[in-house]
Amino acid sequence: MGGAVNRAPQRWSGRDDGPGLEHLRWHHVVGSDDSADLAFLGFRSDEGVRRNKGRPGAADGPRALRQALASMALPGPLSAVDVGDVEVVGTALEDGQQRLGEAVTGLLDDGKFVVVLGGGHEIAYGSYLGVAGSARVRSGAKLGVLNLDAHFDLRADETPSSGTPFRQMAEQEQQRGEDLHYAVLGISQPSNTKALFDTADKLGVSYLLDDDCGPSNPAVDEFVDSFLASCDVVYLTIDLDVLPAAVAPGVSAPAAYGVPLETVQRVCDRVASSGKLVLCDVAELNPELDVDNRTARTAARLVHRITTQHTRR
């Protein structure tokens, strides 16, 4: 990864009930062993949110996520490595995204399942660069991007921000002579202009509105299964503002409605057990705005389920 990561990992610590596998928690298994199958990587950035006129504070998200995850109990042994953080220095967002991409590509090509902890949703373009640059995708594997989000993030602004990453991906894919295979679950109609819906239609984006994401609606499973069937490699990105504000208050733009946690969890389980997921990132956790660590705990639970499901398949 060279100099892509510019902030060393901190030691994980948490509750300890004693020795033995029956007391295993995340902080017991996350270390510095490069042979681990699972890698955690942080992306400390507020710059994209600031440019998008949102509420800054997500740069501290990786720390809060690690802290919330550390004491969660594991159902069985696994090995994980924390490689540190890619930190955006000053306003140099584009440089940070490029470095994130380099770090992700290196980890994927080393055979690791990667979890990137954000950071604003500008994380998505860096994560995409990493997956698109991996050996599997460069060798012809079909990449699919699944976004759990209230927003399309397809803005046409000239300056990249947390509102532009998927537009940037589409433009990058077009330069390669490809179409971006992009699907979004949880779109809030009042939070997206007609121009954004028109852009989504023009780019062939598949989406499911938050109104249609109830826990018992079979349309959710059909949507996810259709997406999974059409690609070989999956990048899953979770913008925490897809969840109801009561569940995830610590985000730049809390949801007035949102997708139930039960639905989001079911989608994550389905994707993680598909055998196609290579990278997941979590975006928009803002600890300064959180209440009783609700958002951090919810995000950590999703990461916990995705990683343990992935290792059990």
> Does the domain made of 21-311 have the CATH classification 3.10.129.10?
no
Mean pLDDT check: name the lowest of 8-12, 56-60, 192-196.
8-12
pLDDT at 120: 97
Express each pLDDT in 113-139 by its tens digit: 999 999 999 999 999 999 999 999 999
pLDDT at 6: 80
Express each pLDDT in 164-188 by its tens digit: 999 999 999 999 899 999 999 999 9
**pLDDT of 1 strictly over 80:** no
**pLDDT of 2 strictly over 70:** no
pLDDT at 312: 76
Percent of the chain's residues with pLDDT above 70? 99
105: left (phi over 0), alpha (psi -120 to 50) or beta: alpha
CA dihedral sign, ordered 297, 305, 115, 272: negative
- Average the pLDDT over 183-208 and give the result: 98
**Residue 66 amino acid letter:** R
> With bands split at pLDDT 50, 70 and 90, how would you rate the model's confidence at 148?
very high
Greater model confidence, 20 or 189: 189
Express each pLDDT in 253-266 by its tens digit: 999 999 999 999 99
Express each pLDDT in 227-240 by its tens digit: 999 999 999 999 99
pLDDT at 206: 98
109 among annotated binding-site residues: no
Express each pLDDT in 267-303 by its tens digit: 999 999 999 999 999 999 999 999 999 999 999 999 9
Strand ranges, E, within the chain: 30-31, 38-44, 80-87, 113-118, 143-148, 182-187, 206-209, 233-239, 277-283
pLDDT at 242: 98
153 among annotated binding-site residues: yes
CA-CA-CA-CA dihedral for 266, 269, 275, 280, to nearest 10: 100
CA dihedral sign, ordered 33, 34, 38, 44: positive
User: Three-state secondary structure along 231-261?
Assistant: CCEEEEEEEHHHCECCCCCCCCCCECCCCCH
121 among annotated binding-site residues: yes
239 among annotated binding-site residues: yes
**For residue 126, what are the CA distances in angstroms to 35, 78, 311?**
24, 27, 24
**pLDDT of 3 strictly over 90:** no
pLDDT at 134: 98
